[in-house]
């Protein structure tokens, strides 16, 4: 009688990155599908059909063309600049959806005072607008940056429009799962932007773990 490894149920599924060829935990990678004969990023993981996986790293986006053509069995537009731009746009949509989800769950503290209080209580992530101004330089935000609990995203006006406010410079996410996914989207967007704007940097980068932000 064959015995089952008691740890097998807890193992994360692995996938091969089409950019570097290395296997890794699937939850830490980005899924891609073909939609209307074009590559699309399935960042929420709900799309049907055959998929491929990619590390959220500039070098992997740069090297994805051959692997994607092999994975999907036909030629698709996978130029690094095009793929990188699609990734950035997909991340923007995904971040908006995640922030709205946190808002609906009452797990989002909006505005400087509420966010600072949530930081003090150990909120797993703060989202700071790129044009936040003084609050971005505060000691509370600096501590979150040092702890890896802060990301910069969008603008005050854009965050405000998303959350039904005039403008939002900072918000704190109290939901651990949403916070982790937002950090992943920030990393992915950075990789996409690097590939879309300067592929020469990605070419020599190799497939290393990203440095702590």
Looking at the chain, the domain(s) classified CATH 3.30.1230.10 span 8-93+185-199
| Average pLDDT of the chain, as a whole number | 87
Measure the CA–CA gap between 55 and 33, rounded to whole angstroms. 15
Number of neighbouring beta carbons within 10 Å of residue 200: 7
Mean pLDDT of all residues in 77-86: 85
* CATH superfamily of the domain spanning 108-174: Ribosomal protein L30/S12 (3.30.1330.30)
We find that the CATH architecture of domain 8-93+185-199 is 2-Layer Sandwich (3.30)
- What is the spatial distance between Cα 43 and Cα 36, in angstroms, rounded to a whole number? 17
pLDDT, tens digit, for every residue of 18-63?
A: 999 999 999 999 999 987 777 889 998 878 777 899 999 999 998 8
C-alpha 175/C-alpha 24 separation (Å) is 25
Tens of pLDDT along 91-116? Answer: 999 999 999 999 999 999 999 999 99
Structure token digits, residue 99 = 């922030």
Residue-level pLDDT at 2? 55
Domain span(s) for CATH 3.30.1330.30 in the chain: 108-174
**Beta-bridge mates of residue 33:** 40, 51
């Amino acid at each position: 009688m064959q015995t089952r490894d008691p740890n097998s149920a807890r193992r994360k599924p692995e996938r091969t990155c089409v950019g570097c060829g290395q296997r890794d935990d699937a939850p830490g990678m980005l899924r891609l599908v073909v939609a209307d004969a074009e590559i699309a990023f399935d960042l929420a993981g709900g799309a049907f059909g055959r998929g491929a996986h990619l590390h959220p790293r500039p070098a992997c986006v740069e090297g994805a063309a051959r692997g994607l053509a092999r994975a999907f069995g036909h030629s698709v537009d996978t130029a690094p600049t095009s793929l990188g731009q699609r990734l950035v746009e997909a991340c923007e949509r995904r971040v908006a959806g995640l922030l709205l989800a946190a808002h609906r769950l009452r797990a989002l503290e909006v505005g400087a005072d509420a966010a600072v209080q949530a930081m003090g209580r150990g909120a797993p992530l703060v989202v700071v607008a790129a044009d936040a101004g003084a609050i971005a330089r505060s000691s509370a935000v600096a501590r979150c940056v040092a702890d890896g609990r802060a990301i910069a995203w969008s603008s005050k006006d854009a965050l405000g429009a998303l959350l039904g406010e005039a403008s939002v410079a900072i918000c704190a996410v109290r939901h651990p799962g949403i916070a982790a996914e937002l950090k992943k989207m920030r990393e992915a967007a950075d990789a996409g932007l690097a590939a879309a704007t300067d592929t020469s940097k990605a070419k020599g980068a190799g497939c290393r773990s990203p440095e702590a932000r």
